[in-house]
Amino acid sequence: MSGLNVLLKRIPYKFKTPSLLDSRAFIGGRWTPAASGATFPVYDPEDNQVAYKIANISRAEVKTAIGAAQTASKQYKQLTHRNRKNLLRKWTNLIKGNRDDLAAICTLELGKPITESYTTVDYGISFLEWFDGEIERLYGETIPAARGSNRIMTSREPQGVVAAVTPWNSPVAMILRKVGAAISAGNAVVLKPAPETPMCAIAIAKLFEQVDYPEGTLNIVTGDAAASVDIGDEMCHNPAVRHLSFTGSTSVGKLLNTECAKHLKKTSMELGGNAPFIVFEDANIQKAVDGLIACKFRSSGQTCVCANRAFVHHSIIDEFAERLQTTVDGLFKYGSVWDPDVNFGPLYSPRGVEKAMSHQEDAGGFIKEDLGPNFYVPTILTGGPSQEMRSWTQETFGPVMHLTPFETEEEVIKLANTKESGLASYFYTEDISRVWRVSEALETGMVGVRTGLVSACEQPFGGIKESGIGREGSKFGVEDYTNIKSITVGL
């Protein structure tokens, strides 16, 4: 039986368009296996079995992809903004029309419960719809010239070739948020998806192919962890790449940023977080409980904006912990990720399990073997970690939440700001002056006040300090992929 038939047999879902499943890279408008014939495995997180094998390409093929993107970008940038918008709309409609299959691929390779996969596909679509509106709003300005005989105006031009590297944790949305913005701004893209989740990227490109973009406007270069290092290195050093846009860990982001700096390439860096979640003594406790659950336990704790350090005022911490545990116990339904009633799935791989377990410090691990090797039960621990413990110093990226008591606003702001990361933070209070005071004091790019969800296509998404450079989504997310040109005309 072929690899594809094995794949189709192992899941309880019938694809409407099975051709979205492919094992090849997409280079210069052509589907291509690795020149060497090499492949790498994609695992199903429900049982850690190999689900499919994907082309493991080499550096030479990445060079070809970048060359194809360069040629395409010259053609593509000639199109009017209206034409670009029409193309984007066709692609978006194809993605919407294949929503079921895309969600199924996401569930297959990431182990997300199918209802969560629909949420991430819809979140991805929301970015394309937002960028559709932004394409024709990429305005320039006229500027009063100090020299009266001159007139100055600006325009926003495409940058050329954008190289993009994305993580596994939300494969459809993270790709569309980045690639959608770069293409809306008139660029061609070479995308390297995470080795754990290349199939969503391939399916997205299969739909892109059906739109009349110049060949090579979107290229997908697939590789395992070792090949990713070579692919990344080529992206950083190839002179045709003008902008490297990365989403992933801070350590890899720093490395790529350092390499790009050698050529003064523009970078966008959407990196790791270590979000504080603060519950003040005047908070509505049940709202704060619900907010923490939405923030911490969605995607089984595997998002960059998940709460990582929860601080609860000492006077309410016992009640908060009890209500949190009771609500969690009543909320989650476990089982097959293909069951639409299931709302909590396994971690993406044994590496995720290992990390979550190490962040429980001495409390032991909570794996439910009957639900698969990567199934980790949502875990709440009181007493708080010390500042040397891993669950304080690193992102857990799993469903383990320690609650730490605090006494004063001043103390908790200091604790929240101790980290070098600065992506998202959250707090709950009913005091309006505290809302402003604390929002302004927290050192993060995004603050959620009385909400555990800050992600939306219209909102600038990104961090400060070691959590990144630039913003995704919103009008800023598209502008980031343009160069401002100023033209001075003498009368």
Ligand X SMILES: NC(=O)c1ccc[n+]([C@@H]2O[C@H](COP(=O)([O-])OP(=O)(O)OC[C@H]3O[C@@H](n4cnc5c(N)ncnc54)[C@H](O)[C@@H]3O)[C@@H](O)[C@H]2O)c1
Q: Which residues bind ligand X (CB under 6 A)?
A: 165-169, 174, 192, 194-195, 228-229, 232, 247-249, 252, 255-256, 270-273, 304, 395, 423, 463, 468
Q: Which of residues 451-470 bind ligand LTNE7NMQ (CB under 6 A)?
A: 455, 461
- Please state, in angstroms and rounded to a whole number, the distance separating the CA atoms of residues 456 and 483: 25
Q: What is the closest distance, in whole angstroms, from the C-beta atom of residue 121 to ligand LTNE7NMQ in the complex?
A: 12
176/328 with CB nearer ligand LTNE7NMQ: 176
* Pure H helices in 262-316: 285-297
Yes or no: say if 176 and 125 are a contact pair by the CB < 8 Å rule. Answer: yes
173/353 with CB nearer ligand LTNE7NMQ: 173
Residue nearest to ligand LTNE7NMQ (CB): 455
Q: What is the closest distance, in whole angstroms, from the C-beta atom of residue 476 to ligand LTNE7NMQ in the complex?
A: 15
Q: What is the closest distance, in whole angstroms, from the C-beta atom of residue 317 to ligand LTNE7NMQ in the complex?
A: 27
Catalytic (active site) residue 319: no
Quote helix, strand, coil % in the chain, to nearest 5: 40, 20, 35
219 in contact with ligand LTNE7NMQ (CB under 6 A): no
169 in contact with ligand LTNE7NMQ (CB under 6 A): yes
185/423 with CB nearer ligand X: 423
The active-site residue out of 109, 196, 270, 443 is 270
Q: What is the closest distance, in whole angstroms, from the C-beta atom of residue 461 to ligand LTNE7NMQ in the complex?
A: 6
195/214 with CB nearer ligand LTNE7NMQ: 195
Sheet containing 218-220: give its strands across.
30-32, 25-27, 218-220, 188-192, 161-165, 241-247, 266-270, 468-469
Q: What is the closest distance, in whole angstroms, from the C-beta atom of residue 450 to ligand LTNE7NMQ in the complex?
A: 18
- Please state, in angstroms and rounded to a whole number, the distance separating the CA atoms of residues 139 and 81: 11
Q: Single out the segment in contact with ligand LTNE7NMQ by CB under 6 A; choices: 65-73, 250-258, 297-305, 443-451.
A: 297-305
274 in contact with ligand LTNE7NMQ (CB under 6 A): no
Structure tokens at 43: 């695992």
Q: What is the closest distance, in whole angstroms, from the C-beta atom of residue 219 to ligand X in the complex?
A: 15
Q: Which residues contact 171 (CB under 8 A, 6 or more apart)?
A: 106, 109, 110, 120, 193, 194, 197, 200, 201
Q: Which of residues 298-317 bind ligand LTNE7NMQ (CB under 6 A)?
A: 303-305
Give the CA-trace dihedral at 235, 237, 239, 242, to 10 degrees: 50
Q: Can you spell out the DSSP letters for 452-488? A: S----TTS-B--EETTEES-BSHHHHHHTTEEEEEEE
195 binds, among ligand LTNE7NMQ, ligand X, none (CB under 5 to 8 A by kind): ligand X
Structure tokens at 56: 């493991």
159 in contact with ligand LTNE7NMQ (CB under 6 A): no
**x-or-dash pattern for ligand LTNE7NMQ, window 412-451, by CB under 6 A?**
----------------------------------------
SS3 track for 319-375: HHHHHHHHHHHHHCCCCCCCCCCCCCCCCCCHHHHHHHHHHCCCCCCCECHHHCCCC
Q: What is the closest distance, in whole angstroms, from the C-beta atom of residue 382 to ligand LTNE7NMQ in the complex?
A: 26
3-state DSSP call for residue 196? coil
3-state DSSP call for residue 264? coil
- Please state, in angstroms and rounded to a whole number, the distance separating the CA atoms of residues 253 and 69: 23
Chain residues binding ligand LTNE7NMQ by CB under 6 A are 169-170, 173, 303-305, 455, 461
Indicate which residues carry an active-site annotation.
270
